Structure 1
Amino acid sequence: MSYFIRRIALSLCCLLMAPIACAFDLTALSNQLANNAVVRGPFIQEKHLRAMAQPLTSRGQFVLAADSGLLWQLQSPISQTYRINSEGIARRTSDGWQMQPGNNAAAQQSRLFLALLRGDSSGLEADFELQLQGTKDDWALTLEPRALLLKQIFSRIEIKGGGLVQRIELLETQGDRTLLQLPNSQAASALSQTERDNFAD
Structure 2
Amino acid sequence: MRALCWYGLLLIGLLPGVSGWAAERAESVFSHPVAGSEPRQSRLQALADSVRSQGEIRGRFVQYKHLSVLSRPIESEGRFVLDEQGRFRWDIQAPFPVAYRFDGEELTRVQKGQSNVVHAADDPSLYGFFAFISSLFQQTDGELEEHFERFYKESGEGWTLGLRPRNDRLRRALSQLVVTGQGGEIEQVVLTEPGGDYTRLQFFYPESEAVEDSGAVEMDPAVP
TM bucket by the smaller chain? 0.7 to 0.9
Structure number with bigger Rg: 1
Deviation of residue 136 (structure 1)?
Answer: 9.6
One of 151, 156, 172 as aligned partner of 1:131: 151
One of 164, 169, 176 as aligned partner of 2:190: 169
Q: Which has the higher contact order (CA 8 A, sep 6+)?
A: 2
- Aligned pairs for 1:1-201 (under 5 A) are 25-93=43-111, 94-96=113-115, 98-103=116-121, 104-134=124-154, 138-163=158-183, 164-186=185-207, 200=223
Structure 2 segments unaligned to the other structure (5+ residues):
1-37, 214-219
Higher fraction of helix: 1
Change (3 A) 1:199 1:134: farther
Deviations 1:19-57 (A, max 9, x none): x99985221111011011111111000001111111000
Aligned residue in 2 for 1:13: none
Number of residue pairs matched?
Answer: 177
| C-alpha contact 2:86 2:138 (8 A) present in aligned 1 | no
Change (3 A) 1:59 1:48: same
Give the whole-Å Cα distance in 1 for the aligned partners of 2:222 and 2:72. Answer: 34
| C-alpha contact 1:137 1:162 (8 A) present in aligned 2 | yes
| C-alpha contact 2:60 2:207 (8 A) present in aligned 1 | no
Give the AA of the match of 1:42.
Answer: R
Give the AA of the match of 2:147.
Answer: D
Q: Percent identity at matched positions?
A: 26
TM-score for the superposition, normalised by structure 2: 0.69
Structure 1 segments, 4+ long, off by >6 Å, are 20-23
Structure 1 segments unaligned to the other structure (5+ residues):
1-19
Higher fraction of strand: 1
| C-alpha contact 2:40 2:152 (8 A) present in aligned 1 | no
Deviation of residue 95 (structure 1)?
Answer: 4.5
Q: CA RMSD in A?
A: 3.0
Give the whole-Å Cα distance in 2 for the aligned partners of 1:148 and 1:198. Answer: 42
Change (3 A) 1:64 1:136: farther
